[in-house]
Every structure is written in C-alpha cells, then in structure tokens.
A and B are shown apart, each in its own frame.
Chain A
Amino acid sequence: MTTGDGVRAPEVGDGVPVPASGVPVPAGVRTPEAGYGVGIGWRPEIAGFVADLPGLRFVEVIAESIPAAGPPPGLAELRERGVTVIPHGVRLSLGGADPVEPARVRQFARAAELLDAPLASEHIAFVRAGGIEAGHLLPLPRTREAVDAVVGNVARVRAELSVPLALEPIAAIFDWPDDELDEADFLTEILDRTGALLLLDIANVYANARNRGADPLDLLDRLPLERVGYVHVAGGAASDGIYHDTHTDPVPPEVLDLVAELSARHRPPALLLERDGHYPPAATLRAELDAIAAASGYPRVT
C-alpha cells in the first residue's frame, strides 16, 4: 500500500530506475530513464489493446467507473503485472461553490485504495450547480472567490484521500466575464494553496491558446513545471471556428510539438494518451503512443 506522502517501493524490476509514484523527485535524483514514461487511458473498449502493450508501466482510469467491489478484470490483470493505475475523477466538481458531496469523495478515495494508486487526479472545474448537472467540465471564473472554493474542496477531498492529488486545468471554450487573475496566476495560486500536483493537459493548453489567439508557450513558461505529476495528451478537431478537445480525433502535430517543448523545459515523469471514443485501428493508436514517446524522449511502450 501507499504511504501518505505517495512514496512506495518500485514494482517494476526491469533495472530501469522507477520513481515510486508519479510524483516528481528532487532535481539530480531523476535520471533520463526515470518516470513512468508513456501510458494510456484505460477504457473497457480498448482493454485488449492496452493489455497487449509490452512496455506499459501506467494507465489511468475514470475513478467513477471503479465499483466498490474492486477494479474490473482487465484492470486487475494490469495491476498484477505491476502496471500502475491512477484514478481520474470527473464528477467531484472541485470548483463548485458548494462543498464536494461526501459520498463522491468516499468513492474517489476508495478507488485510489482499491487500485493501490500512488496518486489520484481531478479537474479544476465544476460540473453541477443549483441542483443541475452540466454533463461536462465547466470553467471557473478566475477569481479569488473561485480559488477559495477549489481550496476548500481540495481540503475536503484530501481529508479522505490517502495519496497525493493532482489537479488538471481544463479546456474551456468560453471565459467568464469578470476574471481577476490570468490563467497562470489562477493555477499557480491554487497549486500553492492546496499543495496539489499539476496534471497538465498539454492538449488543453493548445486548445485554450489557439482559441484565444495566444501563444501556448507563454503559459508553459509561467507554470510551475516542477509540480507536474503527469501529463495528458489528446486529440481534437476544429469546427465552428473553434478547436475542440474531443479525445475522439487524432493528436495533431501541434500538440506533439508542445510535448517536445514541455519536455525540453522540464520533462514530466509520465505522459498519458487520452482516447474516449471513435477508436482507431490498433496500428494508429500505437503510432500515436510512439509519437508521444518520440516527442518526450521516453522509450516506446508498443
């Protein structure tokens, strides 16, 4: 089992230095081979494909999909192989003005325990308000009041969660009219006040910058990259003049370029491909994983 600070013994006896968790270790300790490298979001539809990846060291699973009775068969087999499984919450609504629902927090924390995960992750977003489900991750106003809401809810989650929490900024199509902070200051303040790790979705960085006519590197240069627990990489497509982070389209070359830019600045310990539907042939998915490996300098897992 994990300890409270997220450290645990390496489980992969392949001679490659393995950090015990997705958590960055102090500079100088990491070697170029350190880290989990490239992983993929585990979904039932691609369980067979994922199981056949010989070099795979970590996957992520939607936390709400983990039953109290334990992980589904395909995931349990990955765990037995020593593959790390990180629960990724999508329904906690950490950015909601209302306190997180205790039952959801318990389920989230239990998923991390059932999976023996080194960390768990959720979003800087809200998904319901006024008793109505939005059905989607919605952006927060970048205000101090919203920072307070996130900080309070993260504290409530961490009271139950036995492992570190990583927070993921979302892709937002629209902004609130009354932002007090810019994205970098908003995120940095949340990370500073919560002590959480950053789950950096590089495709979200791309989408947000492209849709606002901004340079994605400006945000990368201002974020605390040493706090990155792991990175999401995903595909998208443009329609209505907007780039949509769909997770059902190919990863565009611009996003892979950003993976390379990020890795050159501070290589993250792990990068994960998110694919949530319209699954392509296995060869195409393998090529995407290989492209992420090439852009980040990690070994191929295929």
Chain B
Amino acid sequence: MTDETRPADRPRSRNDRSSRAGAAGTLADRQAALVAALVAGAPLPPGFDARLVGVARSALLHKRAGEVARHWPLLAAGHGRSWRAVFAAWAAERPTSGSVRDGWDLARHLAAEEALPAPAAEELAVREAGWRYDGHTPPRRRRLPALRRAGNVLVVQFAGRVRIWTAPGSTNPKIDSASPGS
C-alpha cells in the first residue's frame, strides 16, 4: 500500500479553492451529492448544467430499462412500447439495486397496483416460488417447497424444480401472497 493520504480524510482549507459553489465540500461529499441528484431525486448541486445532467439521467434510465428487460423479459414485453416509460417512471428516483432486484421490485409494485400484465405475473410467480427475496437483500434460493398463483396459472416449486399449471376458472390477477413453504 502506498503512503498516500486518503483524499476524503485530508483536512483542507476551503480558501485554497475556487469559490464557486460547485467546489464546496470534499470529493466524497460532492460525489455523493451528484449521485443522489442523478438517481435518487436529490437537488442538483450548484454549477452543473441541469440540461446535460438531465440528458445523462434519461440515458441512464434507458440503459437500466434495457438491463432489467434482459432479466425480466416478460415484464418488459408485457408493456410493449411503453416499457421504458413505465420503468423510468418507477425508477427515476430509485437507485439501482441491480437489474434482477430492480425488475423484481417493479413487478411487485405493479402487482400490488393490479397493473402487472399476465405474462409478467407468471414470470414473477415463478421467481417467487423459487427464491426468497425480502426486498432489501439479495434473493436466496428457497429450500422449502412453495406455491404461487398468477391469474389462472399455478406455480409449484418442489426440491428446486418449478412446475407450472394452467388452472381454468381462476381470474385473480394478483400474486398469491401465501408464505413460502405453505
């Protein structure tokens, strides 16, 4: 390791810098403020070009939507051309937790609002049956059997294998909230 001082730890005078507002604070503070403005809805620190940062924010949401679509193809396909707008509206002030969890969180959010398209509900049910996800920490594979229902589709996970049945007669669009192992 080098003997270099970690920049954020180094005391420094504010007077040795430009007095422009954008230069206030340590690099750590300023980076945190910029990231919060870009992805968490915080106000933009002074001095930045708001239009250009807005373009970057849109480009980032566009990219995130594409990455989530790779992991949740039916969630994206179920929204057709409105996918990017749906994702961006949900994600604009939510920092990413990774594409898998972002898609999961959005699918649950839409399910709670009864706005999850049927194929996406099935996709979610399959994930829910196979994995335990608390919404805060990375999903873990379930060890116990699980049953989930999405509309007229029944998803059963037993010993890691997922089976899907179509159950005529059920029209419930919501995800079954039965607890794992029930």
Contact = CB atoms under 8 A, between A and B. Distances in A.
A151 B4 contact: yes
A155 B1 CA distance: 6
A149 B27 contact: yes
B27 A130 contact: no
Given A177-B23, A277-B66, A152 B6 contact: yes
A248 B55 CA distance: 18
A132 B95 contact: yes
Interface string B15-38: 001101111001110111111101
Interface in A140-193: 141, 143, 145-146, 148-149, 151-152, 155-156, 159, 173-178
A213 B4 CA distance: 37
B2 A152 contact: yes
B62 to A, nearest CB: 9
Interface residues of A, number: 37
Contacts of A97: 7-8, 26-28, 31
Contact of A133 (B8, B49, B53, B96): B96
A214 B97 CA distance: 36
Contact of B7 (A129, A145, A175): A145
Contact of A176 (B12, B22, B95): B22
B102 to A, nearest CB: 9
Interface residues of B, number: 44
Interface in A116-146: 126, 128-136, 138, 141, 143, 145-146
B2 A129 contact: no
B1 A159 contact: yes
A205 to B, nearest CB: 18
Contacts of A152: 2, 4-7
Contacts, number: 113
A148 B8 CA distance: 10
Interface stretch (B39-47, B144-152, B165-173): B39-47
A174 B6 contact: no
A92 to B, nearest CB: 15
B31 A96 contact: yes
A131 B28 CA distance: 11
Contact of B18 (A131, A135, A178, A244): A178
A149 B29 CA distance: 13
B48 A135 contact: no
Contacts of B47: 176-178
A99 interface: yes
Interface of B: 1-2, 4-8, 12, 17-18, 20-23, 26-28, 30-36, 38-40, 46-49, 52-53, 55-56, 58-60, 63-64, 66, 95-97
Given A97-B8, A133-B96, 17 more contacts: A99-B6, A129-B32, A130-B33, A131-B32, A132-B32, A134-B39, A135-B64, A145-B26, A145-B27, A151-B4, A152-B2, A152-B5, A152-B7, A156-B1, A176-B47, A178-B18, A178-B47
